[in-house]
Amino acid sequence: MSKHGDQQTGAMDMDAAMKSQILEQIPTPLMAVGRDLKVMYMNAAGRQFLGMSWEEIKKKHCYELFCSEHCQTPECCMRQAIDGGKAMAARNTTTLRGKTTHFEYTACPLKDAAGEIVGGLEFIVDITAKVQDEKRLREQSATIQKMSTPAIRLWEGILVLPVVGVVDSQRAQQMMETILTKIAETSARVIIMDIQGVAAVDTAVAHHMIKITKATKLMGCECIVSGMSSAVAQSLVQLGIVLDTVRTTATLKDALQESLAQLGHVVKNAKQS
């Protein structure tokens, strides 16, 4: 007999008690339900997940036990798997014993010996810690983005936005949101976008700069771009980008002088006595 045949014979010879022990020792929750969604089986990990005994679980509908966001909705993967005859997977959330739990679950059709769908099987993985880590990373990312584009009040009516590092489309959008929010908060009349620390500007970023200047003008605020390096200027010319509508200066000092002049302030050099 072939090796494959030996494996099949061994599987057939395995007694029901051993099969039950294998299912019980699977470390992730496993559940079987009928077409009516009544629970026919749940392993030890599943009972522990719910915090219930088998006596409390058996013959109840799965939605009575889990009360998750997907239960009794079109999003239910178990219902979709039984009705559609194919495996379905999704993330879900439930509150058990006053504690919110996030989990990934996969449901697939349960078939009898004749191949007829008689219910469904569901495998569950608790991802609460993973979801919490993802949330912290998003919050940290948002904080870093906010810190990387700080709009500083330089003078009464004047804001400066120092831009350092790589500017992609996402960061350019963040810059616009930061600028417009700060203008609304301070009623600024001039904002200086200093790009001295930007090594390169591509077409998309240049168009975002133009959009920013137009958006600030709609809010009654003039936008001056300072710190235009020779490398950036050459790149813009080579890309064929016209910045005729954008006020630019070589240095932040020049931009500040223009801003003060626009607000009616006169800048004089102090003389040594």
Tens digits of residue pLDDT in 51-87:
999 999 998 999 999 999 999 999 999 999 999 999 9
Q: Is the pLDDT of residue 9 over 60?
A: no
Query: Exposed, middle or buried: residue 41 (CB in 10 Å: 0-12, 13-18, 19+)?
Result: middle
Tens digits of residue pLDDT in 83-128:
999 999 999 999 988 899 999 999 999 999 999 999 999 999 999 9
Give the chain's domains with CATH numbers. 14-132 (3.30.450.20), 149-262 (3.30.750.24)
Please report the sign of the dihedral spanned by the C-alpha atoms of residue 66, residue 70, residue 72, residue 75. Answer: negative
Mean pLDDT for the stretch of residues 14-20: 74
Kindly give, in sequence order, each residue whose CB lies less than 8 Å from that of residue 49, ignoring residues fewer than 6 positions away: 29, 96, 124, 126
Give the pLDDT confidence score for residue 119 in this predicted structure: 96
What would the two tokens of residue 120 be?
């469904």
**pLDDT mean across residues, the chain:** 85
Tens digits of residue pLDDT in 214-268:
899 999 999 999 988 787 788 888 878 777 778 888 888 889 988 998 888 876 6
Q: Residue 105 has what DSSP assignment? A: E
Q: Is the pLDDT of residue 147 over 70?
A: no
Please report the sign of the dihedral spanned by the C-alpha atoms of residue 64, residue 65, residue 69, residue 71. Answer: negative
CA of residue 256 relative to chain centroid, distance: 38
Region of residue 56 (left: phi > 0; alpha: psi -120 to 50; beta: else): alpha
First to last CA, the chain: 110
**Structure confidence at residue 144 as a pLDDT band (50, 70, 90):** low
Q: What is the DSSP string of 110-157?
A: EE-TTS-EEEEEEEEEE-HHHHHHHHHHHHHHHHHHHHHS--EEEETT
Give the pLDDT confidence score for residue 267 in this predicted structure: 67
User: How, if at all, do strands 30-34 and 39-42 pair?
Assistant: antiparallel
For the entire predicted model, the pTM comes to 0.51
Strand-pairing partners, residue 197, are 164
In SS3 terms, 174-243 reads as HHHHHHHHHHHHHCCCEEEEEEEECCCCCHHHHHHHHHHHHHHHHCCCEEEEECCCHHHHHHHHHCCCCC
